[in-house]
Structure 1
Amino acid sequence: MSNPVNISKQHYYYLDILNIVATFAVVCLHTSDYVFQFSPNEPNWYLSLLIQILFIWAVPIFFMISGANLLNYRERYDTKVFFKKRCVHVLFPFIFWSLTWYVWNHVALGMPGWSIKNFWYEFEQNSIQPIFWFFYYIIPVYIAMPFLSIIANNKNKKIVEYIIFLYVLGTGIVNYIYTLLHRSFDMLVANIPLALEMGIGIFFVGWYLHNYKISDKARH
């Protein structure tokens, strides 16, 4: 089905391009929040809906880029360096901007409840700035990356394919059906790992497409 690709320390420009277009797409998504205020009689609502449809792929692309770049981090540096880099580039900015936004909410905007205890509560619940949900999703994946990276190698190709299968099954089929039925996950499917909980299969999809040459049909 596929052959491994030599992924030595070369620069991959397609990942740069994906980062650029995905960043643009995220900006477009955040200019069309009006779509969440259902107003079928307003032309702007349909424009917002169109923008959402055209650019909703942005965040999954970012997750796939992370999978392509980070699941093989052991080829470039050790786990200690990996966590240092994640702290500098993700954790510290997350904490800094959460504090900054909290101060803005409670000082500049006058929201009640200003206290350290309240900050910690809002920080835990992602109620300081809901747009930060991305951090709450990706940081746990980073924490799991040391053992996920052990799976992601050529010897475990079949295991990775199985993880991707679970992801497609859970997210693309089971989750979609439950959404159509307006049902929450029941105990029968809610605890299937790597598919329905964290959905880290998308990171493995990025790693797989980056590391293996496959046919256009299979890639699509």
Structure 2
Amino acid sequence: MKKRIFFFDLARCLAATAVIAIHVLAPYRNELGIISFGEWVTAVSINSISRWAVPVFILITGALLLSDTRPFNLRYYIRRRLSKVLIPFIVWSLFYAYLSGWSAQGFDATTVKAVLADSLSHETYYHLGFFYYFIPLYLVIPFFQLAIQQADIKWIYAFTCVWLITTLLFLLKIDGPWSWQMWLYSGYLPLGYILYKKIPITSGTVAAITLLGVSALSITIYAVVSNSLANEEYTIGRWMSYKTLNVVLAASMVFMLCRYFGENLPKKVSQIASVISRHSLGIYLLHPIFLWPMKEYGWYQGHPGWVIPLWIVISGSGALAVSWLLSCSRKTAWLLP
């Protein structure tokens, strides 16, 4: 039996929380000049420092799957890896297409039909966009596994270095073939493997990566706030993209900090993190259900400093509870990856 690696639990727990925060604060982002400047900056700052959430999930996937030394088995891979994510995604896409037809004014079937018609190229609900670039990564994972198992590790280092350069070019709006979405997301996979298996977990290394991550977050906040003020409206450029160097550095920092501290957490904290981790994708899939009334009925009045944490707890707890209930029966457990 494999020893459980607790830092992955911690990383998933933090990433799930940050994802919810991003979705909770959404109503505040475009309120520049409408709400007080302090409230707007609070929400935008939380948004700026939370963009690492989705990339951390991809880093974890790369760390785990690329470190698997077993020979590649296509049948097992499709049945136990790809289909385990793909089938729930399809089911929940249909559910959220239906939910998209509901608003505070009632149900609109026309909206549902339009959402479904566009579902091959666009998510049926705002949080499902993650799967449109995550699922295709399963096509390239076997090639990375093969390269790591049979080729010189320098190849992976070289690939990752080139990828990091292209994330900077994309941030600076220097576009080219490297701007292809699949390329810009795929680099997180070998990066996760390198951060997990090849970077020494020393205080000096963690301090250096933390310095880069904090600097990236600070620059992101400054860039978004200053650009928005200059344009007198919420303006993010590419600073909030998951495909840019600033977000890569922030995600790497969170991953390494979890790796540094995660194995020495108090037992009670580890147990809580493990439960949340086990249901992290369930929380990801389900939390918008509990945010629906907040957004449709405007239940976010108040300073985001307390409104955001409150709704993180409400929607996160509700999603965790439903995820747990679904996992209790074999008839419904397959609905959540």
Match of 2:165 among 166, 169, 174: 169
User: For 1:21-56, what per-residue CA distance to the aligned partner results, in whole angstroms no more than 9, with x for missing partners?
Assistant: 111111111111134315145343222112112322
Q: Unaligned 5+ residue runs, structure 1?
A: 1-7
One-letter amino acid matched to 2:11: L
- Deviation (angstroms), 1:99: 0.8
Structure 2 counterpart of 1:47? 42
Change (3 A) 1:38 1:154: farther
- Deviation (angstroms), 1:73: 3.8
Aligned mates of 1:109, 1:70 — CA distance in 2: 42
Structure 2 counterpart of 1:96? 91
Instruction: Tell me, yes or no, if the aligned pair for 1:60 and 1:202 is still in contact at 8 Å.
Output: yes
Structure 2 counterpart of 1:159? 155
Structure 2 counterpart of 1:26? 19
Instruction: Tell me, yes or no, if the aligned pair for 1:163 and 1:195 is still in contact at 8 Å.
Output: no
Instruction: Tell me, yes or no, if the aligned pair for 2:59 and 2:193 is still in contact at 8 Å.
Output: yes
- Deviation (angstroms), 1:78: 2.4
User: For 1:173-219, what per-residue CA distance to the aligned partner results, in whole angstroms no more than 9, with x for missing partners?
Assistant: 211211xxxx6x2xxxx224999834311111111111124364487
Structure 2 counterpart of 1:203? 189
- The alignment partner of 2:185 has SS state of coil
Structure 1 counterpart of 2:110? 112
What number of residue pairs does the alignment pair up?
201
Which of the two has greater helix per residue?
2
Instruction: Tell me, yes or no, if the aligned pair for 1:32 and 1:52 is still in contact at 8 Å.
Output: yes
Bigger mean CA deviation after superposition, 145-154 or 60-69: 145-154
- Deviation (angstroms), 1:112: 1.1
Change (3 A) 1:86 1:32: same
Structure 1 counterpart of 2:75? 80
User: For 1:64-83, what per-residue CA distance to the aligned partner results, in whole angstroms no more than 9, with x for missing partners?
Assistant: 00100112345287232122
Alpha-carbon RMSD across the aligned residues, in angstroms, is: 2.9
TM score, norm. by length of structure 2 = 0.53
Q: Which 4+ stretches in 1 moved above 4 angstroms?
A: 193-196
Instruction: Tell me, yes or no, if the aligned pair for 2:58 and 2:189 is still in contact at 8 Å.
Output: yes
Q: Unaligned 5+ residue runs, structure 2?
A: 210-337
* Identity across matched positions, percent: 20
One-letter amino acid matched to 1:97: W
Aligned mates of 1:213, 1:198 — CA distance in 2: 22
- The alignment partner of 2:127 has SS state of helix
One-letter amino acid matched to 1:27: I
Bigger mean CA deviation after superposition, 210-219 or 199-208: 210-219
User: For 1:152-175, what per-residue CA distance to the aligned partner results, in whole angstroms no more than 9, with x for missing partners?
Assistant: 34842111111110121011x211
Change (3 A) 1:18 1:143: same
Aligned mates of 2:108, 2:137 — CA distance in 1: 35
Structure 1 counterpart of 2:335? none
TM score, norm. by length of structure 1 = 0.78
Instruction: Tell me, yes or no, if the aligned pair for 1:166 and 1:201 is still in contact at 8 Å.
Output: no
